[in-house]
Amino acid sequence: MRDILIAWVIAGPLMAQGMAVPPRPSEQGGPMPSAPRAAVSTPALPPIPVRVEPREYNFGTTNTPPSLTGTFTFQNIGNEPIRFRKPSTSCGCAVASLEPPVLPPGGEGKLTFVINLTGFTRGKIEKQIYVQAEGYSPTGTTLTIKADLVPLYENDPMQLNLGDMRLGETTNFTVRLWRTDNQPLDITRLQPSQPSIVARMEPVPGSNSVATLQIAVKAEGNPRWVYERIGLYAANPTQEVASVPIYGRFVGDIVLSREEIYWAVVNRQIPGSRSFRVRASDPKQKLEIRNLTCTLKEVALTCRPLPEAQGYEVLIELKNLPAATTKGTISFETNMPGQPRVTVPLTINMLRF
C-alpha cells in the first residue's frame, strides 16, 4: 500500500503535465537491479610439509654411463599423513618412483630415479622431478638432477671429412684415441660400416691408455653423399663405446648440386621453379650435356650454360599439376666417358591443408 501511495505521489504531477512515467525495470522485462556481491576468495593451499635430502642431486663430472640412478629421502614434518601423487619428470628419459605413497607424521620415504642416457654423449644435463600431494599446493616440490657428462673415450679429430672424392681414389687419416680416466684402452674390435673402409689400431709407446687409428677410405660404387662410421668395442662385444663418423661425397666425372629433387606443392597452387647445377669434377675438362628429358609430362626443362664454363643450370618448371603425388626422373647425356648418362630422381608431393 505504501509503495502504491509513493508511486501515485510521483506519477500524479507528471501525468498532470502530460509527461510519460518511466516504467519500472520489471515492467520492461528485465531483472530488478540487485546489490553487488562481495568477491569470494579461495584460500591458498599450503606447501607440502616435507624435508627432502638432498634437494639437488649433482653427479658432478662423470664418464657417460648407460644411466644415472639415485635416491632422494623424504620426511613428513607435519601433523597429518601425506598422500603423494605419482611423480612426474621434465624428460621422457627420466623415471621416478616414490615409496611409500602415504607418509605418516614423522615418517620417512624414498624417491628413486633412473635417467636413461642413450643418445647423450657429452655436456651438462639438468633434469627435474615434480612431486605433488593431495590437499597441498599444486606447485608441489621440485627436485633437480645435474651431471656433466664426459665420454669415457675421446678421439681427435672427432669426425672425418672426405670432401669430394673421385671414384677409385683412396684417402688416409690418422686419429688419436684415448681414455679420459687414464685406464687401459681395452678396445677389442674396430667395426667399419662399409667394406671400403679399413681401420687398424696402433699402440703409442709408453702408454696403454692412448693409441692411434690408421684409417683408409676408398671411393667405390656410384656417385653419392657418404655418411659412414667406425664403431669401437671393448669388453662387451655388442656395446659400442665410441665411434668415428665419416662423411663426404663420392663423385665421378659429373658433380650435381642436388642428387635428388623433392618438390612440395601445397593446396594445388602452382609453385615457382626449381633448379640444379651440373659441372665436371675436373675443372680442366669441358662438359657437354644433351638430350635433357623428364619422364613426367607435367614438367618442362630448360638448360642454360653458366658463366666461365662452370657447367650448366637445369631449370625445372611445372606446366600442369599432377592429380596426386608422383615420382619420375630427369635424365641427360654427357660427353664424359665415366658417366655418359646421368639420372636425377624427381618427386612432386601434392599436399593439402
Residues 103, 109, 44: CA angle, nearest 5 degrees? 50
Fold match, 50-150 / 254-351: yes
The residues, any chain, with a CB within 8 Å of residue 66's CB and separated by 6 or more, are: 116, 117, 118
DSSP state of 133: B
Instruction: Report the pLDDT value the prediction gives residue 10, as an integer from 0 to 100.
Output: 47
pTM of the model: 0.63
Cell of 145: 638432477
The residues, any chain, with a CB within 8 Å of residue 224's CB and separated by 6 or more, are: 249, 250, 259
Quick one: which of 139, 136, 119 has its CA closest to 128? 139
Please state the domain extents for the chain: 50-150, 153-251, 254-351
Sheet of 94-99: strand order equals 50-53, 67-76, 108-116, 94-99
Instruction: Determine contact, residues 327/350, Cβ cutoff 8 Å.
Output: no
pLDDT in tens, the chain (353 residues): 444 444 444 444 444 444 444 555 545 555 555 556 655 566 789 999 999 999 899 999 988 788 999 999 999 999 999 999 999 999 889 999 999 999 999 999 999 999 998 878 789 999 999 999 999 999 899 999 999 999 889 999 999 999 999 999 999 999 999 999 889 999 999 999 999 999 999 999 999 999 999 999 999 988 889 999 999 999 888 888 899 999 999 999 999 999 899 989 887 777 778 999 999 988 888 999 999 999 999 999 999 999 887 899 999 999 888 889 999 999 999 999 889 999 999 999 998 75
Residues 150, 64, 131: CA angle, nearest 5 degrees? 110
The residues, any chain, with a CB within 8 Å of residue 319's CB and separated by 6 or more, are: 298, 299, 300
Q: Which fold has domain 254-351?
A: Immunoglobulin-like (2.60.40)
Distance CA(96)–CA(59), nearest Å, equals 17
Pick the CATH number of 153-251 from 1.10.8.50, 3.20.20.220, 3.30.70.3280, 2.60.40.10: 2.60.40.10
The CATH number of the structural domain formed by 50-150 is 2.60.40.10
